[in-house]
Protein backbone atom coordinates (compact mmCIF):
# COMPACT_ATOMS: atom_id res chain seq x y z
CA UNK A 1 0.00 0.00 0.00
CA UNK A 2 1.35 3.41 -0.97
CA UNK A 3 0.90 5.59 2.09
CA UNK A 4 1.19 9.27 1.21
CA UNK A 5 1.73 10.27 4.84
CA UNK A 6 4.77 8.02 5.24
CA UNK A 7 6.40 9.81 2.31
CA UNK A 8 6.33 13.11 4.19
CA UNK A 9 9.46 14.09 6.06
CA UNK A 10 9.46 12.98 9.74
CA UNK A 11 6.43 10.68 9.48
CA UNK A 12 6.99 6.96 9.80
CA UNK A 13 4.73 3.95 9.95
CA UNK A 14 3.46 4.50 13.51
CA UNK A 15 2.73 8.21 13.17
CA UNK A 16 1.00 7.57 9.82
CA UNK A 17 -1.14 4.86 11.46
CA UNK A 18 -2.11 7.23 14.26
CA UNK A 19 -3.06 9.93 11.76
CA UNK A 20 -5.11 7.45 9.71
CA UNK A 21 -6.89 6.38 12.91
CA UNK A 22 -8.12 9.96 13.43
CA UNK A 23 -9.23 10.41 9.82
CA UNK A 24 -6.15 12.09 8.34
CA UNK A 25 -5.22 10.23 5.17
CA UNK A 26 -3.29 12.68 3.01
CA UNK A 27 -0.94 15.64 3.09
CA UNK A 28 -3.86 17.90 2.18
CA UNK A 29 -5.87 16.55 5.15
CA UNK A 30 -2.89 17.34 7.34
CA UNK A 31 -2.48 20.84 5.90
CA UNK A 32 -6.20 21.55 6.32
CA UNK A 33 -6.11 20.56 10.01
CA UNK A 34 -2.68 21.92 10.88
CA UNK A 35 -0.07 20.46 13.20
CA UNK A 36 -1.69 21.42 16.52
CA UNK A 37 -5.16 20.08 15.72
CA UNK A 38 -3.76 16.91 14.14
CA UNK A 39 -1.60 16.30 17.23
CA UNK A 40 -4.57 16.96 19.54
CA UNK A 41 -6.72 14.51 17.56
CA UNK A 42 -4.08 11.80 17.97
CA UNK A 43 -3.75 12.47 21.72
CA UNK A 44 -7.53 12.66 22.19
CA UNK A 45 -7.85 9.25 20.52
CA UNK A 46 -5.68 7.88 23.32
CA UNK A 47 -2.35 7.41 21.56
CA UNK A 48 0.63 8.19 23.76
CA UNK A 49 2.29 10.61 21.37
CA UNK A 50 4.99 12.94 22.66
CA UNK A 51 5.55 16.55 21.66
CA UNK A 52 7.99 15.23 19.07
CA UNK A 53 4.95 14.18 17.02
CA UNK A 54 3.70 17.78 17.11
CA UNK A 55 7.07 19.00 15.82
CA UNK A 56 7.27 16.14 13.31
CA UNK A 57 3.89 17.06 11.81
CA UNK A 58 4.85 20.74 11.59
CA UNK A 59 8.16 19.74 10.02
CA UNK A 60 6.34 17.50 7.54
CA UNK A 61 4.13 20.43 6.55
CA UNK A 62 7.19 22.66 6.12
CA UNK A 63 9.33 19.89 4.57
CA UNK A 64 12.07 20.21 7.19
CA UNK A 65 13.39 17.77 9.76
CA UNK A 66 11.55 18.31 13.05
CA UNK A 67 14.83 18.96 14.83
CA UNK A 68 15.52 21.83 12.42
CA UNK A 69 12.36 23.73 13.34
CA UNK A 70 13.35 27.06 14.88
CA UNK A 71 12.93 27.20 18.66
CA UNK A 72 10.49 30.09 18.18
CA UNK A 73 8.28 27.92 15.96
CA UNK A 74 8.28 25.10 18.53
CA UNK A 75 7.40 27.61 21.24
CA UNK A 76 4.56 29.01 19.11
CA UNK A 77 3.19 25.48 18.60
CA UNK A 78 3.35 24.83 22.35
CA UNK A 79 1.56 28.11 23.07
CA UNK A 80 -1.20 27.23 20.58
CA UNK A 81 -1.56 23.82 22.18
CA UNK A 82 -1.66 25.30 25.69
CA UNK A 83 -4.21 27.92 24.66
CA UNK A 84 -6.53 25.26 23.20
CA UNK A 85 -6.09 22.98 26.22
CA UNK A 86 -6.87 25.84 28.60
CA UNK A 87 -10.01 26.76 26.64
CA UNK A 88 -11.26 23.16 26.75
CA UNK A 89 -10.77 22.88 30.51
CA UNK A 90 -12.73 26.06 31.24
Domain assignments of the chain as residue spans, ordered by start? 4-88
Q: Is the pLDDT of residue 1 over 50?
A: no
Per-residue pLDDT tens over the stretch 38-66:
999 999 999 999 999 999 999 999 999 99
**Which residues, 6 or more positions from 49, have their beta carbon under 8 angstroms from its beta carbon?**
15, 18, 39, 42, 43
Instruction: Find the mean pLDDT for residues 10-28.
Output: 96
What is the rounded radius of gyration, in angstroms, for the C-alpha atoms of the chain? 12
State the distance between the two ends of the chain, measured CA to CA, in whole angstroms.
43
What is the per-residue burial (b if ≥16 Cβ within 10 Å, else e) of 6-19? eebebbeeebbebb
Q: What CATH code would you report for 4-88?
A: 1.10.150.20
Residue 2's pLDDT is 61
Amino acid sequence: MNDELQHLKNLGKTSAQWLHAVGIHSASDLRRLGAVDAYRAVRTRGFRASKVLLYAIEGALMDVHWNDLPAERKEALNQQLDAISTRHKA
